[in-house]
Every structure is written in structure tokens, then in C-alpha cells.
Homo-oligomer: A and B are copies of this chain.
Amino acid sequence: MARAADASQLRTRPEDAEIDLEGLVGYNLKRAYVVVSSDFRRALGEDGFAPRQFSALSLIVQFPEIIQSELARKLGIERSGLVSIVDDLEGRGLVSRMPVPGDRRVQALTPTKDGRSAYLNARDVVRAHEAALLSDLAPEEVETLIGLLQKIRKTEA
């Protein structure tokens, strides 16, 4: 052999040129999400919103009187998983479960005044966190990225 090779650092066979974890969308999605979500938590602080609380509150503010089943559907999670999220938001006085005349099975979710302002405040923090984290990307790149991610989401069953 012409050169000594560090077996732990170099590819050793021609077919290994095809071994490329970095070329997979799934792997890169996961790694990028870890970076963004941990920075999200850092930005929102110890007792701030976790990503799922923030998403849920955002949709409750956007669609006041949304019922839990519909919110779960929009978030892409099971109804059962939403219970603790709403419990938390209600416990903080940010959201109210309201009876709906005409169907006593359902609970309409409405933001309280505190909930609306807590949301608007958190939204600004989240925007600042994304702006700082994505400062290496041009605005068009961020738009492109979001468009491509939404294209992938649309392929869902």
C-alpha cells in the first residue's frame, strides 16, 4: 500500500463510496430538528412553553372555540395526547374549556386574555430565536426550506 490508512477515518473499499448517511433526508431532518428544538427550549426558558404547548396555544388563539378533537387532528397527534397539553395550559390560566350548547360531549377551547397576551409574547421570542438561529440562511432560503418541508408533510397518509 502506498499510504498508511487510519481504518477508523477512511473508507477502505470502492463500494463504500455509496455509504452516505449524510445524503439521507431523514437523518438530516432529525439532526436539524434537534438543533432547532433545543434552541427553542433554551430561548423560551425553564418554565416557558415547550414546543407542543406553544403550537397548541397558537392554534387555540388562531381558532378560538376549536374543539379538542379538531385541535388534535390539526396538530397531528392523538386526542389522548392532547389532554395533558390542555391541562397544562388551563392550569396556567391561559386557556378555558367551555361547554358547547347543543353537544354536551365536546369542549371548546378558548384563550383567556392572559393566554392571548402570553401567546403574542412567546411568539415574538420564538421569532427572535428562529431569526438568530437561521441567520446563516438568506430569507429566500428560509422560504424555500419551509416550502419543501410542507411538500413532504403533504405526502402524509
Q: Say what secondary structure dominates the interface of chain A.
A: helix
* B residues in contact with A1, CB < 8 Å: none
In the assembled complex, how far is the CB of residue A29 from the closest CB belonging to chain B, in whole angstroms?
4
Q: Which of B18, B21, B58, B152 has a CB less than 8 Å from the CB of A32?
A: B152
Q: Contact check, B145 vs A8: say whether CB atoms are below 8 A apart.
A: no
Q: Digitize A26-51: 1 where CB-to-B-CB distance is under 8 Å, 0 elsewhere.
A: 11111111111100100000000001
A121 close to B (CB within 8 Å): no
* B residues in contact with A27, CB < 8 Å: 51, 55
Q: Which of B76, B136, B151 has a CB less than 8 Å from the CB of A151?
A: B136
Q: Contact check, B134 vs A31: say whether CB atoms are below 8 A apart.
A: no
Copies in the complex: 2
Q: How far is the CA of A117 from the CA of B21 in the complex (A)?
A: 16
In the A-B complex, the 9 residue pairs with the smallest Cβ-Cβ separation, listed nearest first, are A28-B149, A32-B149, A32-B152, A29-B33, A26-B36, A21-B58, A145-B148, A35-B156, A8-B65
Chain A residues engaging chain B, CB cutoff 8 angstroms: 7-9, 11-12, 15-16, 18-19, 21-37, 40, 51, 55, 58-59, 61-67, 70, 76, 108, 119-120, 123, 126, 130, 133-134, 136-137, 141-142, 144-146, 148-156
Q: What are 26 A-to-B residue pairs whose CB atoms are below 8 Å?
A: A8-B65, A8-B108, A16-B61, A16-B62, A18-B123, A19-B58, A24-B126, A25-B36, A25-B134, A25-B142, A25-B145, A25-B146, A26-B40, A28-B150, A31-B76, A33-B33, A35-B152, A35-B153, A35-B156, A133-B152, A134-B152, A136-B151, A137-B148, A137-B151, A141-B151, A144-B148
